[in-house]
């Protein structure tokens, strides 16, 4: 779907024309930053090198304030414009994933480290290297135009979007708790995410719920071990678990009003048993719950617990259920989205398209709970390639077309400046 036909792109202001004039000169630097970050990825709460590069860059641009160590490794920079006005925030996430890269690139990642007790490869398989490089480019661009800015821009470089290590806090929620949105407090926040699902030159938007909440569940089924040839002498946790898995699939299909919002309940891990002729004592399951409505979210959580415990009780097995809320629904503020849609149309032109809901999750949602926010998507699958066949985000083969990064710089710069210059009621 494309942008509404009544979305007329506004005439560019003098500042907008300056952005268009100076942005292309930054493309080579943005690509170089991205390649360096891609070759040296770091996992959540461990982005020490990345944070150092970002902080030094902001200081070199003469930022009025550069705060480091926010939520472990986060960086918050403040650029005060030459004219008085409100405050707007821009955010990029910095962390990589515990994925071993399969791409044959001159700047491929060969990094390895420890993650939750395991040795893992490390890769920017979700494109956060692109996000950091894009926002560094925006910082360079707006710092050079600061005398024209009617207000201030807060740059938030966030760690641990992909979740912190077990036993640690982190991410957007912790940055907020440590004052990333205070002194001064922005009136709006913008962010973007590169995606393989769109081709280079495309910008995806959606008003209201755009990305799902993301929650974790664990179900431990306790049986009684016995010989596989005599199941009546024990309690079979495997059969019980199979019934639970099937039962969980009815929660969305039979209890949720899916014409209102979609939802997903997925069991991704099931472990139990060591030998084909032994019924084991216990089985463990782990999974994810995705939804786009907070009321549905809470109802699904309750039903997962009740259903699993009831099935286990019927089989005379024990059952312990843990459901943990992670990220809330990412909701693009409708009023802010409507106000900024002409900006997106002007910058992306025919490349602007309204997208379907995304069942992936984003902790940008925590920022949106504090101030109105707009989160958009930037296509990075090369033109001519079917985006449906491209290696998706989180794949060891994920690749970003660097020709799309400059559009990301332009999008964030224009969103920030147009919002600063927009009339206040």
Which residues are paired to 203 by β-bridges?
Answer: 352, 378
> Residue 168 catalytic?
no
Task: Choose, from 327, 353, 362, 421, the residue flagged as catalytic.
Answer: 327
Task: Choose, from 42, 101, 161, 402, the residue flagged as catalytic.
Answer: 402
**Following DSSP, what letter does each residue of 280-344 receive, concatenated?**
-SEEEEEEEEEES-HHHHHHHHHHHHHHHHHHHHHTT-EEEEEEEEEE--EEE-HHHHHHHHHHH
**Other Cβ atoms closer than 10 A to 61:** 19
Q: Rounded to an integer, what distance in angstroms lies between the CA atom of residue 290 and that of residue 329?
A: 9
**Following DSSP, what letter does each residue of 359-407 receive, concatenated?**
SS--THHHHHHHS-EEEEEEEEEPTTS-GGGSPPTTSTT----GGGHHH
Q: Rounded to an integer, what distance in angstroms lies between the CA atom of residue 382 and that of residue 361?
A: 24
Helix (H/G/I), strand (E/B), else coil: 74: strand
CA-based end-to-end distance of the chain: 31
> Residue 27 catalytic?
no
The radius of gyration of the chain from alpha carbons, rounded to an integer in Å, stands at 24
221 Ramachandran zone, left/alpha/beta (phi>0; psi -120 to 50): beta
227 and 279 in contact (C-beta within 8 Å)?
yes
- Residue 249 CA, chain-centre distance (Å), reads 26
364 and 70 in contact (C-beta within 8 Å)?
no
140 and 334 in contact (C-beta within 8 Å)?
no
Q: Beta-strand (E) ranges in 96-212?
A: 112-115, 118-121, 150-158, 188-199, 203-205, 208-211
Q: How far is CA 154 from CA 64, 89, 103, 274, in A?
A: 10, 4, 35, 54
41 and 123 in contact (C-beta within 8 Å)?
yes
**Following DSSP, what letter does each residue of 384-397 receive, concatenated?**
TS-GGGSPPTTSTT
For the annotated catalytic residues, the residue numbers are 327, 402
């Amino acid at each position: 779907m494309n942008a509404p036909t009544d979305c007329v792109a506004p005439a560019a202001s003098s500042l907008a024309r300056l952005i268009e004039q100076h942005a292309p000169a930054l493309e080579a630097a943005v690509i170089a930053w991205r390649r360096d970050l891609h070759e040296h990825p770091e996992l959540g709460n461990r982005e020490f090198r990345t944070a150092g590069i970002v902080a030094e860059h902001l200081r070199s641009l003469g930022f009025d304030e550069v705060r480091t160590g926010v939520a472990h490794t986060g960086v918050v920079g403040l650029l005060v414009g030459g004219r008085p006005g409100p405050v707007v925030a821009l955010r990029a996430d910095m962390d990589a994933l515990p994925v071993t890269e399969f791409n044959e690139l001159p700047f491929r990642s060969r990094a390895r480290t420890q993650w939750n007790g395991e040795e893992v490869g490390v890769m920017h398989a979700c494109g956060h290297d692109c996000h950091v490089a894009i926002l560094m480019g925006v910082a360079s661009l707006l710092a050079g135009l600061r005398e024209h800015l009617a207000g201030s821009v807060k740059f938030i470089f966030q760690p641990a979007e992909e979740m912190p290590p077990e036993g640690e806090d982190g991410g957007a929620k912790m940055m907020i708790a440590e004052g990333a949105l205070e002194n001064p407090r922005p009136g709006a926040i913008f962010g973007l995410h590169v995606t393989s699902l769109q081709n280079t030159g495309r910008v995806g938007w959606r008003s209201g719920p755009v990305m799902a909440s993301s929650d974790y569940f664990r179900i431990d089924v306790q049986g009684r071990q016995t010989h596989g040839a005599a199941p009546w002498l024990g309690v079979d946790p495997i059969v019980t678990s199979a019934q639970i898995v099937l039962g969980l699939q009815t929660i969305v299909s039979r209890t949720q009003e899916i014409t209102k919002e979609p939802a997903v309940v997925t069991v991704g891990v099931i472990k139990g048993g060591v030998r084909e002729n032994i019924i084991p004592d216990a089985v463990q399951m782990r999974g994810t719950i995705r939804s786009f409505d907070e009321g549905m979210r809470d109802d699904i959580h309750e039903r997962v617990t009740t259903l699993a415990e009831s099935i286990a009780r019927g089989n005379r097995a024990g059952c312990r259920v843990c459901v943990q809320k992670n990220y809330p629904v990412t909701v693009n503020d409708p009023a802010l989205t409507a106000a900024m849609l002409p900006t997106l149309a002007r910058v992306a032109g025919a490349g602007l398209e309204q997208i379907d809901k995304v069942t992936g999750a984003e902790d940008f949602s925590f920022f949106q709970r504090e101030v109105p926010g707009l989160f958009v998507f930037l296509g990075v699958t090369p033109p001519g390639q079917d985006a449906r066949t491209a290696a998706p985000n989180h794949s060891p083969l994920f690749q970003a077309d660097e020709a799309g990064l400059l559009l990301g710089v332009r999008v964030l710069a224009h969103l920030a400046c147009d919002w600063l210059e927009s009339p206040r009621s």
